[in-house]
Structure 1
């Protein structure tokens, strides 16, 4: 009988991504909730970059750049939803919508540009 079944030294025991996810979510939420653009953008960049790293680490995507571009679609969709909600109601959501859309565009440009021009370099790995 084996004391440690399935444990091998070739596998990493700890992933660094949960720490960055745990930091990115509250920073982004504080920025979006209070309309603080630098916090919203920085927190979303940290959170989405961590999600792309998790997707690559678990081999759901072939490149972290493609994961980053895929995550950007959801951020842009959230920003467009806030933009629509601002026009449909009398609330002040426009600065939050612009923060999300701007971050999504930055992520999309980084993901597509990284996939096209930095194929040998993997972000965060």
Structure 2
């Protein structure tokens, strides 16, 4: 008799991404709120990278490179709004744009230089 009927050893029971998403959101918010450049960039990278991992793990995309580029575009837009608004949020906008630039670099580099895997 099996302790857990219907479950197989080949499937993972839990995803590693939710704790990283849960840690990335407040880290990014604290960095943006208190204008700490490095913390804001690190939090945004952790949050967007973890979401990309979740999307890949769920099977919605084949690679992580294009979702990273999409998140980069979203961060460019939000950072541009912060940077060019009348309120004094320029350094916060620069932090968001920097995180978007890093994600764009990773997405473009991965798409161009990482070899494609053949389906099994």
Taking structure 1 as the reference length, the TM-score comes to 0.83
Matches within 5 A, 1:33-48: 33-48=33-48
Deviations 1:77-108 (A, max 9, x none): 11112123x2xx3x210001111111101101
Q: CA RMSD in A?
A: 1.8
Report the count of equivalent residues.
115
Partner in structure 2 of residue 115 of structure 1: 111
Instruction: Work out the CA distance in 1 between the residues paired with 2:74 and 2:35.
Output: 19
Is 1:102 matched up with 2:98? Answer: yes
Partner in structure 2 of residue 4 of structure 1: 5
Is 1:52 matched up with 2:48? Answer: no
**Runs of at least 5 residues in structure 2 that lack an aligned partner in the other structure:** none
- SS in structure 2 at match of 1:30: helix
Deviations 1:48-92 (A, max 9, x none): 1101101100111110122211211111111112123x2xx3x21
